[in-house]
Structure 1
Amino acid sequence: MRRFLSQRPIWLALLLSMGIGSMVARTVWTMRQDEWAFAERNNANLVKALEQSLGWTLSAMDQSLQDVAIKLEHPEVMQLQQEVRNTVLFDRPLRAAGIMDVYVINSQGEIVIDSGAMPPRKANYADRDYFQALMRGEKEGLVIGQPVLGKVTQTWMLPVARAYRGENGRVAGVVVSSIRLSYFNELFKSLDLGPGSGVNLFLGSGTIVSRYPYGDDHVGKSLAGTANMLRFLSERSGSFVGVAALDDMERFYTFRHVGPYPLVVNVAQSTDVILADWRKSALQLSFFALVLMAGCVGLAVLFTRELGRRQQVASQLQQAEHYLRTILDNLPSTISYWDQEQRNRFVNQTSREFFGSPPEALQGKTAAEVLGADGYAMVQPYVLQALQGRPQVFERTITTASGDVRHVHITYTPDREGNDGPVRGMFAQMTDITERKRMEEELFSEKERMRLTLQSIGDAVLCTDAQGRVTYINPVAQRMTGWQAFDAADQDVDVVAPLYHNNGERVEPSPVRQALGSGKPCGPTRGVVLHRKDGHRYVVEETASPITDRHGHLNGAVMVLHDVTETMALAERMARLAQYDALTDLPNRVLLQDRARQALALARREGKSLAVMYIDLDGFKQVNDRLGHDLGDELLVQFARRMQAAVRQSDTVCRQGGDEFVVLLPGLDGPEQSTVVARKVLAVCQAPFDLQGHEVRVGLSAGLALFPQHGSAFEELARHADTAMYAAKRSGRMQVRCYAGAAQEPELLAQASDSTSELA
């Protein structure tokens, strides 16, 4: 209590500092909430204004296109002269910024009427998504297509179309206009949202229409399935904090759907920009608060230190005066004398620490008065025994006057008159053994921690004596060796944990024997195999170290086995992935080049020839576009399997990338064999491919270069084979050509039948 009272200024300063810190923290938090609320309101207003502007533009376009479509459904309109017809159809021209000319497209996708040119400009739009959807009847009303690069204007635009019907009531064509994507950027650039922020416009399918101010690099890219896009499409409007899929930047998104149209506009403001001013203000407030808090605590500490120094000086003066009384006051133990009535006659200065009173205050008091009722009750049996002439030695725990808990060793020695005289009193010696007790507890705790550590460690640990007999194994070692701790005790370590090399030979001498013999650590060694009792095997990394006492005498050894079975298997899998294509499991270009170097060296040594063939699939892109990338990948896998079956085991089929393949044909006796191989390669594509119920036919074009006629290095042969392959493509495909020189057309080695070529 006295120590607590002496440190009251520090406690008061700490409380004051905590109060200042709490107030500043609350203020900073309130400022942050206000900043965020302002950004949320401001962005919501911006998005609403943008949504209304875009909705008005689309509504005006829809009305104009609908007016043209209705007029086209009257046969007499199409019979008018060109100038009159254009005047009738486009009597309500759109004057909004960014809106382009209106085209009337017939059922074949050709422009038949052009609001901006007479005669109409030439272009075909049959491949546009909106044209196909309207002509097939998949969509009705106003259709917004994917952003495209205009065929006539060569500018990025967003097409908006409606169908018009003929006399039979069927769809006869499409009326389409477009909005320049630059219009959106001009609309959005008036907003200053700060660095890393912008305005985005998406289609309902997740396709990017405009990202200002990021340019047109991502126009047409789909973000469908991303977390932010799922949130945009699940609600009509709202705000949230998300991380952009394109640049991994955290932003505050506020979005709205544009009227009834499949468009979503959002304002994406960087959270760093929103909180920039708040962070600056918060940093300043926090700095000043910390300075103020540190000042309060510092002044209190200085005041308390000065007060403590004065008290220490006074105590030292008082102790110096009493130390002169007796030499016993210098002893570290508390020495006291008690008479037969258990009254104190003497106590040295150490009584201050335990009893909180100077020796003068204790003299004449009974033991019960000094120790208190509870304290005296604990020592009374020992006191009575000592006053009867029997020495007493015991230990107990006491609480000092300052509140510290101390362990003490107490000795009561009777004071007799002569050897057999009556007892006049007793000497009491009380020694503080708190530190020794603490060390004993720490040693026990350390031993317990070591035991629990070995029990919970993920590696197998085996301890032996100096003769190599097992003294301890942890649970992991029991699992890996198949031995229980009580069965493994006193067993030879080589019996409990037998280690073998990968070739099946026994590790001799074992790591533990090496450590015991040399007195030095052994290992770590990876790739050693541990055989368990039931025959199961683990690939381990083993280390062994000798155990010595503080005098350097060898007491035993400890071996640690780390299970690396999965690590080694993973390393093998990674090594294969480095040399093989992940999709087709064919050798990749790295492995191909290595095999090519070996094949060229062998060809030079044996005087033989080899060939390098480049193959490109014809029609693969159409399959990919029509059936999707998954079935396109399945086509590549099936083609790879057919190619491996068509060539020799000594040949190497490599996937170059995409739908390009390379074949290395070593050990050829002459150019004649290349013709046979060319026919086999062409036969690979004669049968159709079954892609999950879709029967698909594709062709191939191949080029071939021979060693040594067409080059002495693999890179040179590959370049010439690639040249011959492109010559095969130009000549009609489904053929194999052989390189014939830089100035000559590659020679035709093999060609498929006419029906097969046409199919390809």
Structure 2
Amino acid sequence: MLQSRKSLSHRLLWLALLLSLGIGALTVRTLWTLRNDEWNYALQANANLVGTLSRSLEWTLDAVDQSLLSVASELERVKDLSATAQLRQQVRFEGLMRLQGLGDVLVLNAQGDIILDSGFSEPRKANFADRDYFRAFKDGRHEGLFIGKPVPSRVSQLNSLPMARAYHTPDGAFAGIVLSAVRLSYFNELFASVNLGDNSGVNLFRADGIIVSRFPYGDLDVGKSIAGSANMLRFQQENQGSFVGLAELDGVERSYSFTRVGRFPLILNVAQARSTIESKWTRSAWGLGMFTLLLMLSCMALAVLFSRELQRRQAISARLLRAERDMSTILHSIPSVVGSWDANLYNRFGNQAHEIWFGVPLEKLRGMHMSEMLGSKRFGYTEPLLRKALEGEPQVFETTLTDKQGMARHVIVSYTPERDGEQVLGLFIQLTDITDRKHMEDQLFEEKELMRLTLQSIGDAVVCCNAAGHVTYLNPVAQRLTGWQGFDAAGRDVDEVIRLLPSDAEVELDSPLRTAMQNDRPMAATRGVVEHRATHQRFDVELSASPIADRHGHVTGAVAVLRDVTQAVAMAARMARLAHYDALTDLPNRVLLQDRAQQAIAQAQRDGKHVGVLYLDLDGFKQVNDAMGHDVGDQLLVQWAQRLQAAVRQTDTVCRQGGDEFVLLLPGIGNAQQATVVARKIMAQCEAPFMLQGVAVPMGLSGGISLYPEHGRDLDELTRHADAAMYAAKQAGRNQVRLYEGTGQPPRLVVQQAALA
């Protein structure tokens, strides 16, 4: 009965729907036919119109061309074109056709000047050598009639379409052109008789896309080019025809009927807007469509009202059936064991999982006592919990059982009392398999333990924090570097536990951990200093940080790795010093001297000062080395270096050049006399003997001086000249300092030490 009512309701709805669709289809077909008729009429009318206008334009332009050709022929028969009065008698303008809109005929010579004017006996003054039509004939690029770009006439100032032909001398050379023009107002007057509706009109183009006339839109677009547009390409390729397209200038969709104007390089089209063509049909379509829609809706509404009562009755039965089916499907699809048992522990319902877990078919399960399903041994284990549940206390616990397939399952068991007020009518029992979860928990614990042991074993410090920036973990190396214990640092702000400072300042650097979390990307290693919490010992570290994300990509924290590079930094500092200082005397070496010399010379150039260079050599050093050994010689060099540093200013540089040779750089001195004063101080340092292994050893000194800029422009040149002066001092008997005097001049003695005993 229910099925027959449902079938009847569907049949009524289908019948109403088919009837409505039939009415709608008939209406659509009628409207489509009416629309096609409107378009066919418009296309035919526009094609006839463009043909009529084209023939009228062709007749006019052909007449102008014949007039120009006649004048050009007469000009080519004239032998002397210089005599204007005689030329005007020989060239008859009276025979030219006087057409409405046609301008005067002008004859131009080979230089573009007017030599004959049909409108005036004395030719008007104007030059047309820059016009496109003149250049085309002048350069020999064109023959026959040339239609130029629409421009204002230079003699009448009216917008015109120029038309020109060339004439030649008897020997064939270019002699000039015959020029006339059709005023653009002529085209507008011709097209004004046509009324095509809103957004519609007549357009005249040159074949290259230049706009000649666009009626009724005025002359604003005259001279513009639509070359390369889709519509223009079609005009140029097909010569004549009709199509629908978007206008290049205003984007309006129009129906175009177009044709070439005879043999002339012009294209005429009639452009009627789609909205204009379809306006009458649109009004009819709206009226007929609304009536049809109302009729279709009425038909469907009657069918719906008629079948609503049947649907209400069907809905109640369907909901009940669906609820029963859904409940059964859900319970049998649950991977857990779900069952309902009465107060005496006899089964009232069980899902399909009972058969898989306990091997009891559903048809035997109903009415079975729980002890039969579980067996007496397992039932004895669970009976006390069952009794508590029957007394009204819900029970939830974990246990392990082996199913009928021999698979060990770890399960969560829940006993939920089914109540009717205070009375317990039975139990709702659910067993959920959590074997996979237990395995995952065990694996997670093992991985966590492995990670903990790994972090405790590595040599780098590791610090972890949560998304709020609170410390969650420190490994032993991190505790040693920071002085924080793990339990004490837990929950504190990570920037409090790790204060990363620059090596040469007390200002904290930006927190790499927070930056990594904010940018959600790893941060490159940052060099800084970490201070021990208790001892305030400072450690140079390289800190790198990376964000920690969950499986959804959300940042949940960050981890930082701190590598102790204190020893590496100290080693780098030592290597940097060795690169610039002598290992024995701890004096600047040649590299550092070169750098300071460049600065001193640059400063001297700005201040107008001098720079002095002293080249010094200990007299008798080789004898000490040979007699007392190299170790003693090294002691002598160290003592001598200390005496040198005591004798010079802080701004001066003492450099060990090699062996017992030393170089002094004296920046910012005023003259050679100041360098001589320093030389005397240094010479005085040799007066006292050197104590070497308890023996007083007297030493002499020879030296040479050179000055910037008199004796050289750079350190190499100054050192070379100071060395030459020192060599002269040694040649002259040692124990003296000489000043370089220039090329070819002997160095001058400036300081001399008394002879040593």
Q: What TM bracket, shorter-length normalisation?
A: 0.3 to 0.5
Q: Normalization by structure 2: what TM-score?
A: 0.42
Q: Normalization by structure 1: what TM-score?
A: 0.42
Greater C-alpha Rg:
2
